[in-house]
Structure 1
């Protein structure tokens, strides 16, 4: 059998089984941060942050700009350490196993914990089809043509993009609109079968229609993959999340979590007055 025809058995895409595969149990995982502190050089940006993010749930990170939410998100899949001056303390547990253990490969952590960024970042000259499959190539996963075709269709469907691009899969991903590019990035993340999907303000630059479609995608995926989203849109946090964590950095101090809990309680009966002021738009 030639290399191009060699196939591997891929687990189901979060959100549903592969078109020709039996239904499989969820592969989502719980994520827990324990006493996370973070620095850029001598500047401390997070101070002993702990948070449990349950499997098959959407956790929203809210709070004013500059309080460490995006830094915390990047720590959750070991992207923080890509910055030369960055350092951290604490643990990040994926189903109870610390992703920062010395024996754990960084590539494995980033495969199991995917990331969708604020600004869509498809490979602009690469086709829509190849964009979806890019993560497989980076991880050394080979699959036959039929399996690749099925995977591309399924991931684009789950990202709410298939109907819009099915007849132009060989066109460049960079030719899509901003909202379509963001959904393409979600499809690309799903193709490597993440157990957790991190989203850093994925709708901040999108129109209301694209935002609504991505929110629908988040809702559809949450049964199968754990989602953690940073958002400054309080209405969005209320719509898409099961729980919220309110970050705050006051008077030049490092960011901390003031309060966290079920989304309904955080918005309607918070225990801290600062949380109430923020979710009701009195500051931030």
Structure 2
């Protein structure tokens, strides 16, 4: 794989688009700090004043039963929540100290710096593997020539643990890959715009055990290179891949809140709240 050197992206003043450097890193992982985040769908409040720091270069797992607001919280972290009709948001999401909801932040800035991988693999089925990886450049207004794209495709597929499996068939449709390969292709596509944070919403829920293991290995390999925030219902997975956990719960029709957050080994080994202990032990949820 081509060696990556330290460079800085620039903006073309004529087109207001980001110009991709010839070869470049994602940049240092960034810290995300959610402060008093609340969220609504119409009049229904699903989150109430959730605060959580997601440290740079670490994997933070969001756990809890269905309906407690984990995925909604994840979507507030790169402003995807606001894409839903009648959705409302309150609070702050600080990216290295800057609020991404501040009017000075363009939506493309948030999406480029804070990438997203969804529950169901969603490659563009008619596009080639190569074109799937570089698709995000156009969506985020990032310019790159052919050589830069070639380097970026290899870099992104390698970081997603897929390069060796597909390097001889880059022009074949992405939809022809297996489910696990499609999910890693989506990870590569997200990495191609060089985010500093990667959000993952139950990325293994639709995968078989072998594919799940490979995606987990990819997450562990990415740790340190990019900040990862993952929603998972799999307690063993949360224990395997994360360094920090946050346990969400919505009780008796109340909005979702964080019951307990801390180092993963503490959440699973010596939780401070009885509800956390019951959940990680499988007594409910």
* TM-score, with length taken from structure 2: 0.91
Q: Which moved more, 1:196-205 or 1:134-143?
A: 134-143
User: Residue 229 of structure 1 aligns to a residue in which SS?
Assistant: strand
User: CA 1:13–1:207 in structure 2 vs 1: closer, same or farther (change >3 Å)?
Assistant: farther
Q: Structure 2 CA distance, aligned partners of 1:10 and 1:250?
A: 51
Q: Could you say which residue in structure 2 is the equivalent of 1:204? A: 205
Answer yes or no: is the 8 Å Cα contact 1:13–1:190 preserved in 2. Answer: no
Q: Structure 2 CA distance, aligned partners of 1:8 and 1:156?
A: 17
Q: Could you say which residue in structure 2 is the equivalent of 1:167? A: 168
Q: Could you say which residue in structure 2 is the equivalent of 1:3? A: none
User: CA 1:225–1:11 in structure 2 vs 1: closer, same or farther (change >3 Å)?
Assistant: farther
Do structure 1's residue 53 and structure 2's residue 54 form an aligned pair?
yes
Alignment of 1:11-90 (within 5 A): 12-14=24-26, 26-90=27-91
Q: Could you say which residue in structure 1 is the equivalent of 2:145? A: 144
Residues 73-124 of structure 1: per-residue CA shift (max 9 Å, x gap): 0000000000111001100000000000011101100110000000011111
User: CA 1:29–1:264 in structure 2 vs 1: closer, same or farther (change >3 Å)?
Assistant: same
| RMSD after superposition | 1.1
Q: Structure 2 CA distance, aligned partners of 1:147 and 1:88?
A: 38
Give the gaps of 5 or more residues in structure 2.
1-18
User: Residue 124 of structure 1 aligns to a residue in which SS?
Assistant: coil
Residues 149-169 of structure 1: per-residue CA shift (max 9 Å, x gap): 111111111111111111111
Q: Structure 2 CA distance, aligned partners of 1:230 and 1:143?
A: 32
Q: Could you say which residue in structure 2 is the equivalent of 1:4? A: none
Answer yes or no: is the 8 Å Cα contact 1:13–1:191 preserved in 2. Answer: no
Q: Structure 2 CA distance, aligned partners of 1:13 and 1:276?
A: 40
* TM-score, with length taken from structure 1: 0.92
Answer yes or no: is the 8 Å Cα contact 1:121–1:182 preserved in 2. Answer: yes
Q: Could you say which residue in structure 2 is the equivalent of 1:9? A: 21
Answer yes or no: is the 8 Å Cα contact 1:31–1:93 preserved in 2. Answer: yes
Give the gaps of 5 or more residues in structure 1.
1-6, 15-25
Moved over 4 A (4+): none
Do structure 1's residue 113 and structure 2's residue 114 form an aligned pair?
yes
Q: Structure 2 CA distance, aligned partners of 1:63 and 1:97?
A: 28
